[in-house]
Structure 1
Amino acid sequence: MVIDDSKTIRRTAETLLKKEGCDVLTAVDGFEALAKISDQKPSIIFVDIMMPRLDGYQTCALIKNNPQFRATPVIMLSSKDGLFDKARGRIVGAEQYLTKPFTRDELLGAIHRHVTTV
């Protein structure tokens, strides 16, 4: 799943992942994502930090606080690459932090690192 308020980022990630044979869900913000996550149960979640209504940190915390999804890997996406931002991602339970613009290899690397079957 790719959660980002940028249509360009969602479409780019979706295109890259679909070319590799992944089924991809997208959401424009945390609220839309939470509804889809409970229905679709994605294997991995990529979430932008800066989003309206519910930011990536809040979204990640809500996912990780749900026992059903605690083990689902969450990868933070951000144009910020500061130490504080990365630490805050770890605090809310994110497994990894990718800086935008990300590459195809970074996305696939995160999937191979955190998902047992792709």
Structure 2
Amino acid sequence: MTTAQEKNGLKIMVIDDSSTIRRSAEIFLNQAGYQVVLAEDGFDALAKVNDHNPAMIFCDILMPRLDGYQTCALIKKSQKFHSTPIVMLSSKDGLFDRARGAMVGSDEYLTKPFTKDSLLKTVREHTANLEKTQA
């Protein structure tokens, strides 16, 4: 474990059916010292979320089997995870998509392809209080 990981080591879950997006997010987050849990779709995420207890979740919208809106709604309905920040990921940047994300409980919306800076800025904004309590 690197010094950065020892410093904050928060777990961030990335749910996306694109291996490229998952890998990019994993690299960016690992370099910043976060632990990363990857899930290929909503069902995979639901199976992993309880075991890993992520501090924050990035969730793609368009996925097979269980889409991001359904995944977000199911996670937010859980007593344990209702306050866990969930950021929707999508290549669409429409008002309808953002509103639908907010309706199912997402905390923010990040357009793909995201940059390292935009991803890390989003994580910092949503985990600032958690990092202080763990420091």
User: TM-score normalised by the shorter chain: which range applies?
Assistant: over 0.9
- 1:52-71 pair list within 5 angstroms: 52-71=64-83
1:19 corresponds to 2:6 = no
Q: Deviation of residue 98 (structure 1)?
A: 0.3
Structure 1: distance between partners of 2:120 and 2:19: 20
Structure 1: segments with no counterpart, 5+ residues = none
One-letter amino acid of the structure 1 residue matched with residue 123 of structure 2:
I
- 1:19-38 pair list within 5 angstroms: 19-38=31-50
Structure 2: distance between partners of 1:105 and 1:89: 22
Residue number in structure 2 paired with 1:117: 130
TM-score normalised by structure 2 residue count: 0.86
1:89 maps to which of 93, 101, 117: 101
Structure 2: distance between partners of 1:111 and 1:46: 9
Structure 2: segments with no counterpart, 5+ residues = 1-12
1:41 maps to which of 43, 53, 56: 53
1:99 corresponds to 2:108 = no
Residue number in structure 2 paired with 1:8: 20
| 1:55-94 deviation digits (Å, cap 9, x = unpaired) | 0000000000011100100000000000000000000000
Percent identity for Structure 1 against Structure 2: 61
1:79 corresponds to 2:91 = yes
One-letter amino acid of the structure 1 residue matched with residue 130 of structure 2:
T
- Dislocated runs of 4+, deviation >4 Å: none
Q: What secondary structure is seen at the aligned counterpart in 1 of 2:99?
A: helix
Q: Flag the structure with higher helix content.
A: 2
Q: Tell me the matched-pair count.
A: 118
TM-score normalised by structure 1 residue count: 0.98
Structure 2: distance between partners of 1:44 and 1:84: 23
